[in-house]
Amino acid sequence: MDVDIAKMSSKGQVVIPMHLRKRLNAGEGTLFAVVGTSDSLMLKKVSAPSRGELLDSIKSMAKEATSILRSGGMKEKDVIQAAVRARGR
């Protein structure tokens, strides 16, 4: 485990030491999840889903929702009517 000292700028920016960025293969635009406690922070490198992965996920959710609605006997018009009622129209 490496321990380094970093200083926060007036804008709240902290520089991750070069040797750690290289080890993580982290460059400009790399995403990190930030977890904080009362006196410490932890950074975890994360990756955003690709456009294709995101679309696949949305299609999968839509397919599952359609299956659930059909098994309950709901039709598209039932969903539309429920949305209209929820919106108070």
Q: What is this structure's pTM?
A: 0.53
User: pLDDT tens, 33-61?
Assistant: 999 988 889 999 998 888 998 898 888 88
Stated as kind and residue range, the H or E segment containing 43 is strand 41-46
Residue 89 predicted with pLDDT over 60: no
CB 45 within 8 A of CB 26: yes
Tokens of 68: 């659930």
Query: Considering the chain, what percentage of its residues have pLDDT values greater than 90?
Result: 42
**Per-range mean pLDDT, top range of 15-19, 53-57, 74-78:** 15-19
CB 1 within 8 A of CB 23: no
CB 74 within 8 A of CB 82: no
Q: Name the residue among 66, 29, 20 with its Cα closest to residue 47.
A: 29
Identify the structural domains of the chain with CATH numbers, from first to last: 1-48 (2.10.260.10), 51-87 (no CATH)
Beta bridge partners of residue 7, listed in sequence order: none
